[in-house]
């Protein structure tokens, strides 16, 4: 499964798709980028006169690239055809260090910790354009592939 195929099959769409490119994909990890649109809806109220990207949105970006895209790649044999998986984030623990401003591109780097019974746990880091660590954490999620009768 290629990077473009993974992105096309993600169960998200604008304005809630936070994956532009995937630059490296292996069974052990993944990396990719996203550029936050200056006109994104969440900047209008976060914060007055000095908008920054909400932590929950940064966490979602990390989860989409570092957990969902990696999980789809790991389950590529079960996701044949046009199957789109069902995704559930089961836990997140993220530490934040720096803000991300409108228009900034971020890079997400994720390393698989454990993958068993369709549950994936990863160590994920998010960097800004300067290569500075913005946030890092542990994310876990479940990925359900469609039953053969659903394909």
Burial degree of 93 (CB within 10 A; 0-12, 13-18, 19+): exposed
Q: Which residues are catalytic?
A: 46
Whether residue 108 contacts residue 32, with contact meaning beta carbons closer than 8 Å, is answered with: yes
- Measured distance CA(118)–CA(111) in Å, rounded: 16
Note the Cα 129 to chain centre separation in Å: 17
Structure tokens at 116: 């068993």
- Measured distance CA(131)–CA(143) in Å, rounded: 30
Whether residue 127 contacts residue 106, with contact meaning beta carbons closer than 8 Å, is answered with: yes
Cα within 13 Å of Cα(123), Cβ side = 3
């Amino acid at each position: 499964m290629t990077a473009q195929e993974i992105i096309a099959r993600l169960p998200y769409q604008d304005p809630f798709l936070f994956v532009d490119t995937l630059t490296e994909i292996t069974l052990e990890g993944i990396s990719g980028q996203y550029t936050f649109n200056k006109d994104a809806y969440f900047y209008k109220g976060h914060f007055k006169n000095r908008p920054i990207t909400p932590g929950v949105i940064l966490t979602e970006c990390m989860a989409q690239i570092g957990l969902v895209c990696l999980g789809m790649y790991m389950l590529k044999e079960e996701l044949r055809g046009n199957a789109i998986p069902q995704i559930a984030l089961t836990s997140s623990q993220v530490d934040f260090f720096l803000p991300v401003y409108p228009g900034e591109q971020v890079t997400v780097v994720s390393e698989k910790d454990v993958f068993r019974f369709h549950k994936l746990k990863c160590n994920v880091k998010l960097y800004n354009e300067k290569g500075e660590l913005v946030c890092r954490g542990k994310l876990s999620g479940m990925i359900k592939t469609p039953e053969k009768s659903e394909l």
